[in-house]
Amino acid sequence: MPAPVLTPAEVRAAAARLPRARLAHLPTPLEELPRFAARLGGGVRVFVKRDDCTGLLLGGNKARHNEFLLGDAVADGCDLVVWGAGVQSNNCRQTAAGCAKLGLECRLYLSRGHYRTEPQGNLLLDYLVGAHVEFTDAALGPELTAFLAAKADEFRRAGRRPYYWNPPRVVPLAAVSYALCVAEIAEQLAALGLAPDALYVSSAGATGSGVALGKALLGWTCPARLICPMHWPWHIPTRTADDANAAAERMGLPHRLTVSDVDADEGYVAPGYGLPSPAGREALHLLATTEAVLTDPVYSAKALAALVADVRGGRYRPGSVLVFIHTGGVPAIFAEPEKVLPER
C-alpha cells in the first residue's frame, strides 16, 4: 500500500514528536519576483521563499536546522556544542548564535581551505556571539567529521557532555526542518490558488533531503531541483534518499524515497566548493537589481543560476510556478566583496 498523502498540518504534527528549540522567525515570507521573472522571459512566475529572513544572526537555512539539532542537544542534557565547517560557514555562524541563545558553549573548528582568517563576514559574527574558534587544516568531509568526533571525545573525557557533528544523528534531524519548510510553501501557495511546477534549493545535504521528503509527504510530483554546492566522496542522491528516509522514520512516518526520487545536480559546483561562479554572479546581480533581494555569493547564487539557465533553456511552459528557496548566507558578501562586485 502506498504511503498516504499528508496535509501540511499532518506534517507539522509528525515533526512535533521531536525535541525542538524555537529559534527561527517562522513562517518566512513567500514573495513573487515579477521583475526578475520578466527579465528571464518564458512567461514563468518565480517566487522566493525567504529563508534568508529566519533570524538567528542574519538568517539562513541553518536556523531551521538548529531548532531540531539544538533542541536535541538540550533534551540530551548537553552543555557544549562541537561544530565545524569552512571559515566562512553559514552553518557555524547560526549554530554559534543558537548556542548563545540557549546558553550552550560553542566550540568551532574551522577548516582554512582557501579562505582568509581575518574576522570578516560570518567569521566576525562567530566571534561576536562568543564562539570559541580554532582553525584546522582538516579537509571538509570525512576528515573534518573525524576531527570533530575526536574533539568531542576529548571533552567527554574531561567530564563535559558534548553535542557534535555526528552525521547519522544530526542530518536526519536537520532534514525534518525542511520538510516543514515545504509544508509552509504548500500553505502559502494554496492561499494564492497555486501549485508549484518546480522547487529550487542549494543543497547536497540535510536541506535537500528535507525538501525531497516534504515533496513526497505532500504528494507533489513536480521536480525539486537540489543544486549541489560541492562534490562529496559518496553518491549524493543515495545519501539524500537515505537521510530523507531516516528523517521520515524519526517523524514516525512510513514514507520512503528511492534514488529516482532525488534530483541532485552537481553541474554547478565549478569552479569549486566555496568559490563564486560567473553564472552565480550574474544571477546574484540580476536578482539584486530587479528585486533588491541579495543572495550569498556562492551557494544560493549557484542555485539561482540553475533556475535562470533552466528558464532560459525552455524547460518550463509559460505560466509555470517556480519556487526558489533562499537559504541565506548574505554575510559572506562582506568577507570578500571583490568577488561579488560587478565588473567596472
Dihedral, 51, 54, 55, 57 alpha carbons, nearest 10: -50
pTM of the model: 0.97
CATH class of 8-59+169-339: alpha beta
Residues belonging to the active site: 89
Identify the pLDDT of residue 343.
66
- Residue 114, pLDDT > 90, answer no
Which secondary-structure segment (H or E) carries 84? Answer: strand 80-86
Percent residues over pLDDT 70 in the chain: 99
- Residue 144, pLDDT > 80, answer yes
Identify the pLDDT of residue 274.
87
Helix (H, G, I), strand (E, B) or coil at 184: helix
216 with 261: CB under 8 angstroms?
yes
Per the listing, cell 515533526 goes with 15
Q: In CATH, what number does 62-167 get?
A: 3.40.50.1100
Helix (H, G, I), strand (E, B) or coil at 199: strand
How confident is the prediction for the chain on average, in pLDDT?
96
The larger pLDDT score, comparing residue 337 to residue 327, is at: 327
pLDDT band at 344 (very low <50, low <70, confident <90, very high): low
Locate CATH 3.40.50.1100 in the chain: 8-59+169-339, 62-167
